[in-house]
Amino acid sequence: MCNYSFENLLPVDENGYYGEFGGSYIPEPLKVRLEEVNKAFRHYINDMEFLNEFEDLLHNYAGRPSPLFLAKKLSERYGAQIYLKREDLNHTGAHKINNALGLGLLAKRMGKRKIIAETGAGQHGVAAATVAALLDLECVVYMGAEDVARQQPNVMRMKMLGAKVMPVDAGNATLNNAVDAALSAWVADEEAFYLIGSAVGPHPFPEIVARFQSVISFEVKKQLEKLIGRNNPDYVIASIGGGSNAAGAFYHFINDERVKLVAVEAAGKGVGTGESAASITEGQTGVLHGSRTKVLANADGSVKEAYSISAGLDYPGIGPLQSYLAENGRTQVLVADDKEALDAAFLLAEEEGIIPALESSHALAALKKIKFEADDIVVVNLSGRGDKDMGTYMKYMIED
């Protein structure tokens, strides 16, 4: 018996629209592939054998349920009951493995032999390569040539896990171009499955990723019930890059208006400096990677390079669900800049003995920006661990 519930609680229609956002803006040849994924997903998400296998891997391979930890010193500092959802303790160090396992199992059930993935900093590439090794699937990861040069440890991890890393030279040779290359490779290869890394892209990917990541908030409900006898918090706070850890942390609370949902974008060097990744705060509605959503754009309408100290938030768009929730006031959108995220990371390390990922540090940085009541129950989604960011943290320690 699968204990998780993957029922659809999203404000999405059958064409993948969240209000005016979402949909599927793709070339004709991709439609066949997406239709096939959509059909398989609708079938297997109700298939007990599939769900049992997914749950077994989440528990015994990824290490779920991840703990919900009451951070006493942070609680004292900010004047509320602050709990950390410890996604940093998952295998491979972040929430990304939840979705990678779900999609990998789906690929397997569909009879695919090969996984195609894109990666920026390499975190999703590593999760995809991990699952491909586990499930005996071939794995090809597209990565901008610039990123390949910058992210050698993750490139080597992917290779050790048996994946092939394909450097992409087009454009500015970063994530944006890697996504395009991965999609083209998928069109050309019937035996491949596109294992997307966040709640972005054309329908049905944003919905599938959100539903697989929903295990996060499902567990939070159970854990709070046990800890405090109440199954909903006053606040859930999560960082947003593409929006998948936020989707998972918000999921089972989206329709519970008593729970305040806070999404934290990376402001990079600051809102208004032209160097940020704050797609909701500074972006406009446009189409990016097959989905109508909030996008950072130049004056001529072309997609603008995003910047953040955190590679996982450095994306010029945001999934359609997050655009919708923000536009309708269901989420409060805050920003944290590079410096605020760094300070929050060092504070957590010193106060609670946890070195967080830089992405997660943006969520932590929002704590000082909210006015809490003393008995407020606050859940911060600690999306990942900071090992991968030690280079950046070391640089900051030397400069200080």
Ligand X SMILES: *Cc1c(COP(=O)(O)O)cnc(C)c1O
Binder among 303, 384, 389, 392 for ligand X (CB under 6 A): 384
User: For ligand X, which is the closer residue by CB, 81 or 115?
Assistant: 115
Distances (CA, A) of 1 to 49, 221, 257: 9, 19, 30
For residue 381, which amino acid is it? N
Minimum CB–partner distance for residue 374 and ligand X (Å): 29
In whole angstroms, give the CA distance from residue 187 to residue 190.
Answer: 7
Cβ neighbours of residue 192 closer than 8 Å, sequence gap 6 or more: 112, 113, 114, 115, 116, 140, 185, 186
Name which position in 293, 360, 361, 392 contacts ligand X (CB under 6 A): 360
Residues 155 and 148: beta-carbon distance below 8 Å: yes
Tokens 């972040």, residue? 94
Nearer to ligand X, 81 or 247 (CB): 247
* Site map (CB under 6 A) of ligand X, residues 181-200, x = contact: -----------------x--
Tell me the closest approach of the beta carbon of residue 362 to ligand X, in angstroms.
8
Does residue number 383 form part of the binding site for ligand X (CB under 6 A)?
Answer: yes
| Beta-bridge partner residues of 336 | 266
Interface segment toward ligand X; rule CB under 6 A; list 219-227, 343-351, 357-365, 390-398? 357-365
Minimum distance of ligand X from residue 329's CB (angstroms): 20
**Residue 214 annotated in active site:** no
Out of 244, 279, 293, 361, point to the residue binding ligand X (CB under 6 A): 244
C-alpha 156/C-alpha 388 separation (Å) is 13
**Residue at shortest CB range from ligand X:** 384
Considering only 10, 100, 240, 347, the residue that binds ligand X (CB under 6 A) is 240
Residue 314 or 376: the one with the smaller Cβ distance to ligand X is: 314
Stretches 29-37, 52-60, 63-71, 237-245: which one binds ligand X (CB under 6 A)? 237-245
Kindly tell me which of 252 and 376 has the beta carbon lying closer to ligand X. Answer: 252
State which residue, 383 or 392, has the beta carbon closest to ligand X. Answer: 383
212-246 core/surface letters (b: 16 or more CB in 10 A; e: else)? bbbbbbbbbbbbbeeeeeeebbbbbbbbbbbbbbb
The CA distance from 103 to 115, in Å, is 10
Which of the stretches 22-30, 43-51, 186-194, 238-246 binds ligand X when contact is defined by CB under 6 A? 238-246
Instruction: Build a one-symbol-per-residue string for 286-315: x at contacts with ligand X by CB under 6 A, - elsewhere.
Output: --------------------------xx--
From residue 39, alpha-carbon distances to 119, 201, 203, 216 in Å are: 26, 17, 12, 25
Task: Candidates 134-142, 214-222, 240-248, 370-378: pick the segment binding ligand X (CB under 6 A).
Answer: 240-248
Q: Is the peptide bond before 65 cis (omega within 30 degrees of 0)?
A: yes
Alpha helices in the chain (DSSP H): 28-44, 48-60, 72-78, 96-109, 123-135, 145-150, 152-160, 175-188, 205-213, 215-228, 244-250, 279-282, 320-327, 338-352, 358-365, 390-399
| Choice from 66, 98, 151, 245 touching ligand X (CB under 6 A) | 245
Peptide bond into 204 cis (omega under 30): yes
By CB under 6 A, what part of segment 320-339 binds ligand X? Answer: none
Q: Is 73 a catalytic residue?
A: no
Per-residue tokens: 308? 């953040």
* Residue from 85, 87, 96, 198 carrying the catalytic annotation: 96
Q: How many H-runs (helices) and E-runs (strands) does the chain carry?
A: 16, 14
Using DSSP, state whether 235 is helix, strand or coil: strand
| Secondary structure letter of residue 364 according to DSSP | H
Shortest distance (Å) from residue 373 CB to ligand X: 28
Binding-site member from 26, 74, 89, 94 for ligand X (CB under 6 A): 94
**38 or 245, CB closer to ligand X?**
245
Which residue's CB is nearer to ligand X, number 312 or number 376?
Answer: 312
* Residue 340 half-sphere exposure toward CB, CA atoms < 13 A: 22
Contacting ligand X within 111-170 (CB under 6 A): 123
The span of 71-79, 144-152, 331-339, 355-363 binding ligand X (CB under 6 A) equals 355-363
Is 31 marked active-site? Answer: no
Nearest to 191 by CA among 141, 125, 138: 138
Give the active site residues.
96, 118, 383
Q: Which positions touch ligand X (CB under 6 A)? A: 94, 96, 123, 198, 239-246, 312-313, 357, 359-360, 383-384
